[in-house]
Structure formats: structure tokens, C-alpha cells
Structure 1
Amino acid sequence: MPFPTPRAFLPLRHATFRTLWLATLASNIGGWMQNTGAGWLMTSLDPTPMMVSLVQAASMLPVFLLALPAGALADIIDRRIFLITAQAWILAMALILAALTMTDAIGPWGLLALTFCIGAGSAMNFPAWAATTNELVPREDLVGAIALNGIGFNLARALGPALGGFAIAAAGPEAAFILNAVAFLVLIVALLAWRRPREARSRMPQEHLVSAMRAGLRFVSHSPAMRAAILRACTFFLFSAAVWGLLPLLVRERLGLGPEAFGLMLGVMGGSAVAAGFALPALRARLDRSETVFWASLLICVAMGILAVSTHWAPAALGMLLYGAAWITAGSTLSASAQLAAPAWVRARAIAIYQLSFFGVMAFGSALAGWVGGRFGVPVALGAAAAGGAVAAVLVRAWRIDAVAGAPPAAAETVAPTPEAPAQELQALLGEHSGRVLEVVRYCIDPAEREAFLKAMQEVRRVRLRSGAVSWRLYEDVAHPERWVELWAVESWTEHLREEARRTDWDRAALARAAGFHRMEAPPEAARFLNVVP
């Protein structure tokens, strides 16, 4: 009798997802080998804590700089071509780094520059790959696929550093760089074999990069679920990044061990993260997402405290074990919350902003830990990160990341007001370059329901601004308190047409609830006005 497939592996039933997942696993293993080689090479080129920690910062800083334009591009052009281009760039940079290392032509700043370039390719890749997951599996397997991506990433983190450490010991850091290039070549082949279905061509013009970026920023700034996920991620990764920046020095100087031990320490962390990934479904059955992140944040602070006082490999390995489990628990929970909070039209951009935020604070946290380590020593830097992380976890605990998925709440029977069709003689003025469009809805409200109506309109405001409005106002008639006027503006007629396509079921329910307060027999009057004066 065959054994049932574990739930964690169910998304691998889908052939395209399985192929790309395995190829991404190979590229992630190569990436961790590259990170291990770069960190260890810097301890030979310039072993100061600041320079060693800057290796980690250089790999993360590109995400802070490029994530938003990368996410916008991934939403408006073919993601398959975009992903292939990003992998080809990483492959080229990895080969250049390997060649310079083999010829002893690399210096500390050259290593940082090429690490930055490889990080730039990864920054372009991250939001596109995360947004692609929804295309590769049906909705019922989406959460499992997101979790499986996290398991794969941490499986790579378990294998990559260990393999990198042995490769460095056997043939030098250049061996790790060459193997990284080979791994990315595997992913390029898999992407070339992927036959992505053609998207239905929209009759509206394609979004431009700058306006697409603005739309992504507006969505995130007016989405409470996305803001909460970003805040919780920033406070978690800011302090936990200290380990990434200081681990090479901890292993080499405080523990007195070599590159094999460095790789094995990272392998212990990755193996623990993989094991925790399989245990997450049981944990989430007991705790909601917000509490899961809170307790994982405290656990990672305990891990950093153990590392701060370790002078022997055994307690240090225990610290890395706890660190890996806490890292995957918080990281995958936050990532799933961010992806579930973003609708399809803005998903890559929203994920990019989420990644921009936490990678930016990781780069800053790694560099800050290096500065503190240089001034006061590695144990003090790790201890301070542990204490700061615990305090931050308590301060942001009230920001909930739970209500970001599921069916929308029941809407009122009333539908949202619909404006009249535009006059035929004005059709020629309506398009991408029409200028701003002012939209108006007039309500007649029972004054006794004023407070409930205002509460409903706060959610309407968020809906309008998430969907593309650049401004929103609500006015009350001072002579007739039952009369209200809602006004909002969008950049062009094309952006107005995109509004409806961008609304989720949650958004439509919120608009219908607000319209349900209207007390006239006729529905609320809706109108649109074109700005004709420059």
C-alpha cells in the first residue's frame, strides 16, 4: 500500500512548478556557496569586522535600491523573459568573480563591487519569482507552494554553505564562485523550457514604469495588512541580521575554527530551518500568524544571546540551531502574509516593496553590527542585537498580520453606484493622456447613522487610494447634514478604467456597504469630470 504524499510536498504534483522549484533549489545552493566564499575570502583580503560585515550588506543593498522597479517591471512585462535576463546577469558576474579570484586580481573593494552586482541580479529576480508562484499552482495549493519555496530556500541554506566550505578548503574561494555559475546555468535552462501561457491582451495601454511604481506604493501605503507585515519584518530582520554579518569572525577568531566549520555552522542553521518548515503547519494550528512571529522573534534573540557568550563550537551550534528554526518560522509566516495581502495586479510590486523594506534593514543591521563589533567586540554586538530585538518584538506585537486572506465579508444588498457612460462627442478626449479625472458620488444619509457612515467611508477611502486615486475627500453639506459628497481624482482616464480591474471582492464589499447607507429610492448619484484646463 503506497504511503500518502506529505502535505508539504503536494504542490510538486504540478510539473512546471516542480521543475522550476528544483532548478531554483540548485541556484539557491549556488548562491549560498557564493556567499560563503565571498565572506571567507574577505577574511583574508581585509579581516576587519566592518569589511567582513559589508560583504553581507553588499549582497542585500541592491534589493533596497532595485526591488521596486524590478517589481513594477515584473508586473508589466513577460515574467519569463524578465527572469531569464536576471539569471543571465548573475551568471556573467559569477564568472567574472571566479576569473579574478583565480588570477589573484581581486581586492576587498572589487569583491564588494562584484558581490553588489550579483546581489543586483538577485534583487531583480526575487519579486518576479514570488509573483510567478500563483501562475504555477492552483489557488488551493498556493499557501503550500509558498511554504515549499521557503523550505527549498532553507534546504539550500543547509547544503550550500557546507558544500561551499568544503569547496573552499579543497580548491579555494574561486571553486565556490564557479559552482555558483553552474547552478544558475541550470535555472536558465529550466526557464527556457517553461512555456508560459500567453496573457490575454488588454485593450488598455501597458503601464509605464514610473506610474506602475507609484501605483504599487499607493497600494502598500493604504493596505493595513501590507503595512503590518512590513513593520513586523523590519523589526525582526534589523536585529537578526547581526549573525549574518558577524558569523565569519565568530567562527574564525572567537571559536578558532576554519572554513569547513563556518560552512557547517550555516548548514546546522539551514537544516534546523528545514525541519522547522515541516513543523510549521502544526504550530500554526495552535498560534495565529501574529503570535507565531512574536514568539519566533523572542527565540531568535535567545539564539543570538547564546552565540554572544559561546567560546566553543557546541553552544555555538545550539545557537545556530535555534536561530535557523526561528528564522524560517518568522520569515515564511511574514512572506505568506505579504503575498496573501496583495492582489494579482500589484503582487510583484507589493512583494518588491516588502522585500525592499526588510532587505534594506538587513543591510543596515549587518553593517551596524559590524561597526559595533569593531568598536566593542563581536560578543557585545551580538548581545546588543539580542536585547534590541526582544524589546522591538514586544513594541510591535499589537500590529496584527492575520486578517489578510479568506473570503470577503458579507456585503450589503446595495451595489456600488455606477456613473453614466461618457458622451459620444467627448470620446476622443478620453485616454492615457486625458489629464486628471475627478470622480464624484453623492449620498443622502440618515444623520443618526453619521458615525457608522464615517467608519464605512474610512474603508472606502483606502479602497479608492489602493486602486489608483491620487487624492480623496469626503464633504458634508453644512446646511443639510444628510447630504454628503465623495470626491477622488485619478491620473488619467486610462487609470480610471483600471480602477475596476484592480478591485478585489473585499473592495467591492466595502463600496457596497457604504452605498447601503444611502436613504433615497434612487441609488447614489455618480459622475466623472475631466480636467480640461492645464
Structure 2
Amino acid sequence: METSAWAPLQDKVFRGLWIGVLASNAGTWMQTVGASWRLVHEPDAATYVSLVQTATMLPVLLLALPSGTLADTFDRRRLLLGVQLGLFAVAAALTALTAADRMPPALLLVFTFLLGVGQALTLPTWQAVIPEVVPRDELAAASALGAVNTNLARSAGPAVAGLIVAHAGVPVVFGLNAVSFAVFAAALIRWRRPPQGGTTHAERFGPALRAGGRYVRYSPVVRRTLLRVLLFVLPGSVVWGLLPLVADRELGMGPSGYGVLLAALGVGAILGALLMPRIRERVPPNRLLILSGTVYAAALLIVALVPYAMAVVPALVVAGLAWMAQVSRMNASMQLFLPNWVRARGFAVYQVVFAGGQAFGAFAWGQVTQAWGLRAAYLAAAAFMVLGTATVRWLPLREQTGDRSPAAYWPEPHLMLEPHLDEGPVLVTATWRVKPENRAAFVAAMQAVRRSRQRTGATRWGLFRNGEHAGDFVEVYLVPTWEEHLRQHEGRLTTSDEREEEHAVALAEGPATVTHLLPAHSPVPPPHRHPRTD
């Protein structure tokens, strides 16, 4: 049974943080408008204005994965709070210097880049925080509210900034952006994050970064979700990238008309949030992807072929609804699948794919427009949207309904002498004895175990038959360091991993006999053998 679209907002913690994020997002869009307007009358204005977008988006592409790693290795509340306070200081300095007329274009771009760095640190951390404050059955609704948040900010921020620039000036816009960070910081101060369970020592940055990349590499669910995001965002970005040209060239609506078109997209997103609970009850996830992709393509065709505002505005409302349906579905899939220990890193990769797809798509459609015209760009994007949507049949979104809560079900390894945490690589072998009638099923079951080992730390894995004893299977996997293997024991495994391993154990004659092999130069005595499912 689906929960209400607004159910997460009944929780005062989530409500406060959501409002804080809304203020921060709106302030960021206001900052972009203010910075662009500040540069409009400079020599080489076209170059400077385009660099505002570059300075805003480039940090997300460069720093999303490192920032996700920080969010998984440090207290997320404190990290978010520190970033918002830092952004407040940067925005306040920008406001003061602009008001004093001491803001040359190059320095403005530097400040814009610094604000972009703060946003790159905020995005994956906020996504990782949501499951901490929202029950699992409300995650889909929370994801939809996240899309509403983004679209409200994208619609209202530029419109408000335009009015303020016209009546009060650019410094006031920059000042309100600083206030928006203070609002988010205040919400974080009020939130008392419960103590988080985990390992006894913090994960180091370098190994944590590699572990995040390895998790995505060996997670078919995550990889498929990222592929579906890319197939939708690449053609879908034509709307966001070329909408100013539609307002100006096709509809003759001017800057105020551009605000109306953005508002139409935002209204569609809000309607989508209201309708999504009922839609999810009646439409399976992959059918929803097909339906929303087809609707979005139809909206692109209307924008391309009907140069009348009375047709384009409703089409953009529908496009906003379809965009929200796709994005919230992908976001919810990630929220439900990623375990807590790697959630921010997983969302960082998601953010890179999403932002990179938008940036590359907007650039590509701009080049198509330059060569063949605006209508051709929208028609081509609609065709690619249809093709991408058709691939759902062969590349469906993989749903994961298993329990992703931590499960430390491996017993502590007992060695003759404890190796140093940096000792490695560690070769772990597990010998399983299997009856003839279960061998085929056992081999099949071990493929799920393989993925579990690789997601949580193993760089190599293999399953071998013992030539001298036909009933013995030897599982072998390599872990970079002893610390990485201990983290497998201490919290990287989930209840789903435990159930998959229990299935393999049920097909064998009891738990495996495990050996830990360390490098020959290690001072550790010969490895100790003990039975367990490692």
C-alpha cells in the first residue's frame, strides 16, 4: 500500500531539512541569475555568462565521488553543517564585495566555483541522509518530494531573482543566497542525529574511494539504474538546455515568458508528486518508465511542431510530470538498494551520471541547433527518447526488495597473531563439501555470493573443484588489505547477503572451512583454520 505523497513532511525533522534544502536550492538558482546578469554588460559577455554555468556544474562532475566518500566516512550531519556555514561565509563575502563594486568578472567566477564546490559536497550527503530520517516505506514519496524540491527551486529561484535584480540589484540576490545557506544550517542544528553503529575506526579516504567504485562496479542493480538514468537524461536535457531559445525565438515571449515556461515544468513536477502514489499502485516500475518516456517524447514533439504558447505551456507541464516520474523512480531505486555504509558514494556516482548526462546532452543539442535549427534538435531528441524508452524491454530497471540493513553474521577470525591493518593482500579460501545431487544448484547459488564478496571488498574471486575430492568446492577471493577484510566482518554485509549465503550453506554439507593466507613476508605464523561461513 502506497503512503501519501506528502507523508514524509509530517516528520518534523524531514520537514525542517526539506525546507532548508529548498531554500538552499532556490538560493543557488538565484545566485546563477544574479551572476549572469552581473556579467551581461561586460566585454566578452557571452563567454563570461556561459562560464557561470561551467563554474556551477564543473565541481559536481569533479568532486561528487570524493564528497560522497567524505559523507560515508564522517558524520553526515556535521559535514552538511560545516559545508553550509562555509557557503554562508563565501556568499556573504561575495555580497559585500559586489555591493562595494569590487567584483571583477574573474573573481565572480572564482566565487561561483567555490559555491559550486559546496553544492557538490551537499548533494550526495543529503541524499544519504534521507533514509536516516524517513521510514523505508516512505522512501519513494521522499524521492518524489526531492524532485519537487529541485523543480520548485528551479522554477521560483530565477523568477524571484529576476524581480529582485530589476528592483533592488544584484547584491541583494547574493545576500539572499547567503541567507538560504543559513536557513539550511539552522535546520541541521535542530536535528539531533542518533548515534550510528559501525566500525571502531574511521575508513580512510583512499581505500573508501576505491571501495565505493568497486561497489558500483559489482552491483548490477546500481549499474542498470545508472544506464536507465543516462538513456533518459541525454535526450531529456534538450528542454533545460534550449528552453530560453524556445521562449525567445519560437514563442517570442521574452525573459518573462522564459519564467512562465520554467514554472510550467515546476507545476508538472508538483502534479507528478501528487499523482505518483496512485500511479505506483497501478503501474509496475518498468511500465512506468515506458509510459513517462513516451509522454516526454510526445511533449518534445509538441514543442518542436506547435509554435504557440497555449500548446507549449501545457506540454511542458506534462513534460515536468514525466521528468519527475522518471527521476523519482530512479532515485527511489537507489535509495532502496544502497546500504548505509556506501550510500553517499553510490549517490555521488548517480550525481555524476545525472549531471554529466545533462551537461553533455545540453551541449550536444546546442550543437545540433547551431547546425540544423531548434526544431531539428527537439525532433532528434524526441526520436532518441523513443529509442531509449524502447530499450526498457531488454534493459529493464532491476528492482531489489531484499533487506539492506547491516548484518555482521561472520564470526570474528581467530589467527595466531593479528596482522597489521595495512597487511595485504589477503587471500581467503573457503572449502565447501557438496553432495552430488546439489552441485549444480550450489554453483548457481555461489554466483550471488560472488557478487556479495566483490561488492564488499574482494578484488578477485573464483570457485574451483578439488581434483582429489570430487565433492569439495574451494572458493577463493582476494582482499586488498586485512582492514578491508575486517570491514566485511564489521558492517558491510547486509541481511540480503546473509540470506544468499545461507542458501549456499543449505546446499552444502554445513559451513565452509576458511583459511586466511597472508603475504610470505608477513611476520604472522601459518594461518589458522576454523569452520564458519566467511
**Normalising by structure 2, what TM-score?**
0.87
Helix, strand or coil at the partner of 1:435? coil
Q: Structure 2 CA distance, aligned partners of 1:334 and 1:307? A: 25
Cα pair distance change 1:52/1:325, threshold 3 Å = farther
SS in 2 for 1:199: coil
Contact 2:212 2:342 in 1 (8 A): yes
Paired residues for 1:299-314 under 5 Å: 299-314=295-310
Quote the Cα distance in structure 2 between the aligned partners of 1:398 and 1:172.
Answer: 53
2:190 is the counterpart of 1:193: yes
Decide whether aligned partners of structure 1 residues 484 and 417 sit closer, same or farther in structure 2, where only a CA change above 3 A counts. farther
Distance 1:101 1:300, change over 3 A: farther
Partner of 1:343: 339
1:439 aligns with 2:428: yes
With over 3 angstroms needed to count, the CA separation of the structure-2 counterparts of 1:243 and 1:376, relative to structure 1, is same
1:372 is aligned to 368
User: Residue 456 of structure 2 is aligned with which of 449, 464, 467?
Assistant: 467
Decide whether aligned partners of structure 1 residues 106 and 379 sit closer, same or farther in structure 2, where only a CA change above 3 A counts: farther
In the alignment, the residues of structure 2 paired with residue 132 and residue 263 of structure 1 have an alpha-carbon distance, to the nearest angstrom, of 32
Structure 1 vs Structure 2 CA RMSD: 2.9
Q: Do the aligned partners of residues 417 and 95 (structure 1) sit closer, same or farther apart at CA in structure 2, a change above 3 Å counting? A: closer
Q: After TM superposition, give the deviation of residue 306 of structure 1 in Å.
A: 2.1
Amino acid at match of 1:347: R
Aligned to 1:353: 349
Give the whole-Å Cα distance in 1 for the aligned partners of 2:252 and 2:306. 12
Question: For 2:430 and 2:514, how far apart are their aligned partners in 1?
Answer: 4
Q: Structure 1 unaligned runs (5+)?
A: 1-5, 409-414
Kindly indicate whether the alpha-carbon contact (under 8 Å) linking 2:225 and 2:398 is maintained by their aligned counterparts in 1.
Answer: no
Which amino acid in the other structure matches residue 245 of structure 1? Answer: G
Structure 1 residues 349, 420: CA separation in 2 closer, same or farther (over 3 Å shift)? closer
Match of 2:142 in 1: 145
Identify the match of residue 80 of structure 1 among 77, 82, 94.
Answer: 77
- Following superposition, the deviation at residue 25 of structure 1 comes to 1.8
1:165–1:264 contact (8 Å) kept in structure 2: no
Q: Is 2:148–2:273's contact at 8 Å kept on the other side of the alignment?
A: yes
Q: Hey, what's the Cα distance between the residues in 2 that align with 1:436 and 1:327?
A: 46
1:7 to 4, 14, 29: 4
| Match status 1:20 vs 2:31 | no
Cα pair distance change 1:305/1:172, threshold 3 Å: farther
Distance 1:153 1:96, change over 3 A: same
Structure 1 Cα separation of the partners of residues 309 and 98 of structure 2: 30
**After superposition, what is the alpha-carbon deviation per residue over 1:65-124, rounded to whole angstroms, capped at 9, x for unaligned?**
1111101100111212211232234334545655676649554x7666544433221111
Distance 1:96 1:242 in 2: 35
Contact 2:5 2:276 in 1 (8 A): no
String of CA shifts for 1:199-231, please: whole Å, max 9, x gaps: 35743x311111111111111111121111111
- CA deviations 1:125-145 (Å, max 9, x no partner) are 011111111222344444433
Pairing of 1:71-110 with structure 2 (within 5 A): 71-95=68-92, 103=101, 106-107=104-105
Of the structure 1 ranges 390-399 and 342-351, higher mean CA displacement relative to structure 2 is found in 390-399
| 1:419/1:526 contact within 8 Å kept | no
Describe how 1:151-230 pairs up with structure 2 within 5 A. 151-171=148-168, 174-200=171-197, 202-203=199-200, 205-230=201-226
Distance (Å, rounded) in 2 between the aligned partners of 1:376 and 1:325: 29
Helix, strand or coil: the match of 2:462? Answer: strand
Query: Given the alignment, which residue of 517, 521, 528 partners 1:529?
Result: 517
Does the 8 Å CA contact 1:308/1:382 hold for their aligned counterparts?
yes
Partner of 1:499: 488
CA deviation after TM superposition for structure 1 residue 379, in Å: 2.5
Identity of aligned residues (%): 38
How many Å separate the matches in 2 of 1:41 and 1:380? 33
1:133 to 130, 150, 156: 130
Deviation at 1:416, TM superposition (A): 8.5
Change (3 A) 1:471 1:70: same
Pair 276,376 (structure 1): closer, same or farther in 2 beyond 3 Å = same
| Aligned with residue 415 of structure 2, among 412, 416, 422 | 422
CA deviations 1:339-396 (Å, max 9, x no partner) are 1110111111111111111111111112222222223333222222222222122124
Q: Note if contact 2:199-2:487 (Cα within 8 Å) is conserved in structure 1.
A: no
**Equivalent AA in structure 1 for residue 505 of structure 2:** A
Q: For the Cα contact (< 8 Å) 1:11–1:141, is it kept in 2?
A: yes
Q: 1:135 to 1:101 in 2, by over 3 A?
A: same
**Counterparts of 2:15 and 2:415 in 1: how far apart (Å)?**
49
Shift of 1:338: 0.7
User: In the TM superposition, what are the counterparts of 1:394-433 in structure 2 within 5 Å?
Assistant: 394-406=390-402, 421-423=414-416, 426-427=417-418, 430-433=419-422
In the aligned structure 2, how far is the partner of 1:301 from the partner of 1:101?
Answer: 43
Query: SS at 1:241's partner residue?
Result: helix
Counterpart CA distance in 1 for 2:152 and 2:341 is 31
Equivalent residue letter for 2:157: G
Question: How many Å separate the matches in 1 of 2:468 and 2:177?
Answer: 71
Match in the other structure for 2:525: none
Residue of structure 2 in register with 1:477 after alignment: 466
Is the contact made by 2:67 and 2:121 (CA closer than 8 Å) also made in structure 1?
yes
Distance 1:330 1:361, change over 3 A: same
2:61 matches 1:64: yes
Whole-angstrom distance in 1 between the partners of 2:458 and 2:314: 51
Worse-superposed segment, 144-153 or 228-237: 144-153
- TM-score normalised over the length of structure 1: 0.87
Superposition pairs of residues 439-458 of structure 1, within 5 angstroms? 439-458=428-447
Tell me the amino acid that sits aligned with residue 88 of structure 2: L
Task: Report SS of the residue matched to 1:401.
Answer: coil
Q: Distance in 1 between matches of 2:409 and 2:104?
A: 63
- For residues 120-179 of structure 1, the C-alpha deviation after alignment (integer angstroms, 9 at most, x for no partner) is 211110111111112223444444333333333333334323323333443455544332
Give 1:509 shift.
1.0
- The 8 Å contact of residues 4 and 277 in structure 2, kept in 1 or not, is answered as no
Relative to structure 1, is the Cα distance of residues 435 and 503 closer, same or farther in structure 2, using a 3 angstrom cutoff? same
Instruction: Describe the shift of the 1:142–1:395 C-alpha distance in structure 2 as closer, same or farther (beyond 3 A).
Output: closer
Aligned residues: 514
What is the deviation of 1:57?
A: 5.0
Which stretch shifts more, 57-66 or 268-277? 57-66
Paired with 1:250 and 1:38, the residues of 2 have a C-alpha distance of 22
Q: Secondary structure at the match of 2:476?
A: strand
Q: SS where residue 6 of structure 2 aligns?
A: helix
Q: 1:381 to 1:101 in 2, by over 3 A?
A: farther
Q: What is the DSSP-based 3-state SS (H/G/I as helix, E as strand, rest coil) of the residue aligned with 2:516?
A: strand
Q: CA deviation at 1:237?
A: 1.0
Q: What is the letter of the counterpart of residue 517 of structure 1?
A: L
Map 1:286-305 → 2, pairs under 5 A: 286-305=282-301
